[in-house]
Structure 1
Amino acid sequence: MSIHVRYFAAAATAAGVQEETVELPAGASFDDLTRQLATKGAELERVLARCSFLYDGVAVRDRSHRPESGSVVDVLPPFAGG
């Protein structure tokens, strides 16, 4: 299945891209997705450990959830602000 992944801020820097399409086996979970993304490098793996994820605009609370093919996942690192 194809998942469109959009990276923001430090996640985009660590991934080296702002967005990409990731292929996962049918039935894969968000945990499977993050494990696959982490194989792109140690820096991205470190950033992903602190990130929040949106699935088609809705916050992911349960990483065992299985996204559907064609969905959009946003990778959001913690943001500083004031």
Structure 2
Amino acid sequence: MNIRIRYFASLREIVGQNEEQLTLPEGANVSDMRAALLTRYPRLQPIMERCLCAVNRGYVTPETILHEGDELVFIPPMGGGRLLEVSLWNR
């Protein structure tokens, strides 16, 4: 299944793009995608440990099952530990 990943702030700087589409097997969850991204971009490790995640603009847990066409965002902390505002999706 194809999942759209959007990158913001430090994540975007590391991967060098705003978004991409990745393929996972049916039944995969957010944690599976996180593992796939860490394999693809090992430099994400320290940031991903502190990210929240959202699917289709709603916060979810790592155990959330993904579905074809979902939009997944890992929301990195900003300076001082604050989380990046989801309003960035509107950009």
Query: Which TM class, normalised by the smaller chain length?
Result: 0.7 to 0.9
Identity among equivalent positions (%) equals: 30
Q: What RMSD, in angstroms, separates the aligned Cα atoms of the two structures?
A: 1.6
Report the equivalent of 1:58: 58
Asked whether the 8 Å contact 2:53–2:62 carries over to 1, the reply is no
Equivalences for residues 2-13 of structure 1 within 5 A: 2-13=2-13
Higher helix share: 2
Report the equivalent of 1:46: 46
Structure 1, unmatched stretches of 5+, are: none
Superposition TM-score, scaled by structure 1 size: 0.88
Higher relative contact order by CA 8 Å / sep ≥ 6: 1 or 2?
Answer: 1
Structure 2, unmatched stretches of 5+, are: 83-91
The structural deviation recorded for 1:18 is 1.2
Aligned residue-pair number:
81
Letter in 2 for 1:65: T
Superposition TM-score, scaled by structure 2 size: 0.80
The list of structure 1 runs, each at least 4 consecutive aligned residues, that deviate by more than 4 angstroms after superposition, is none
Asked whether the 8 Å contact 1:3–1:23 carries over to 2, the reply is yes
